[in-house]
């Protein structure tokens, strides 16, 4: 699993540096899941952020870019759009369901696939709305983010610039 130090080496030092676990605890209790530790660590370090003008992450402790609110709105959107058959599975927090956690600037939605059983690993799913393609990456969030930052093809239409950067969202 990629480490936060590997992410920092490519992206730069984080500035958000959240340390209070309470918003995560409340969100996890409300959703009935436990987020992967690597996703929490990266989100706590960088907070609400726009990476390379392409990838937007929210945080559960932020008043305006609130991850919990974003997740609930996106689940509602995907459940309403379920009959379109765009997603290869159901959006939600149950085993095997797709949990929306981030968005891409070129019409992508980034999901964590909730493990279908407790011993199974999490995976990353990318839904591209322009082409209606869905790709499942059997890797952790940190491995997926590191692959993206290294320029690997894990987010449609989002090749990193020569210099990686991020912009805190307020």
Tell whether the model's pLDDT for residue 134 goes beyond 70. yes
- Better-scored residue on pLDDT, 21 or 131: 21
Tell whether the model's pLDDT for residue 99 goes beyond 90. yes
The count of C-alpha atoms lying within 13 angstroms of the C-alpha of 86, restricted to the half-sphere facing its C-beta, is 19
Contact residues for 100 (Cβ-Cβ < 8 A; gap 6+) = 70, 71, 74, 75, 78, 91, 109, 110, 111
**pLDDT attached to residue 156:** 65
| Domain enclosing residue 122, as ranges | 4-151
Residue 89 is part of a domain; what is its CATH number?
Answer: 3.40.1580.10
What span, in angstroms and rounded, lies between the C-alpha atoms of 108 and 74?
12
Q: Is residue 159 part of a domain?
A: no
Mean pLDDT value across the chain:
92
Q: Is residue 121 part of a domain?
A: yes
């Amino acid at each position: 699993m990629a480490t936060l130090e590997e992410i920092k080496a490519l992206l730069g030092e984080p500035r958000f540096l959240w340390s209070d676990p309470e918003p995560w605890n409340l969100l996890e209790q409300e959703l009935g899941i436990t987020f992967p530790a690597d996703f929490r660590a990266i989100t706590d370090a960088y907070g609400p952020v726009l990476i390379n003008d392409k990838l937007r992450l929210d945080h559960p402790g932020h008043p305006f870019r609130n991850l919990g609110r974003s997740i609930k709105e996106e689940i509602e959107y995907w459940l309403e759009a379920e009959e379109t058959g765009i997603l290869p599975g159901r959006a939600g927090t149950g085993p095997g369901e797709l949990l929306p956690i981030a968005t891409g600037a070129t019409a992508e939605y980034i999901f964590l696939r909730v493990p279908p059983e407790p011993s199974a690993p999490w995976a990353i799913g990318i839904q591209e709305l322009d082409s209606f393609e869905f790709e499942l990456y059997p890797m952790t969030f940190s491995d997926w983010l590191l692959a993206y930052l290294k320029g690997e093809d894990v987010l449609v239409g989002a090749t990193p610039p020569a210099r990686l950067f991020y912009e805190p969202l307020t």
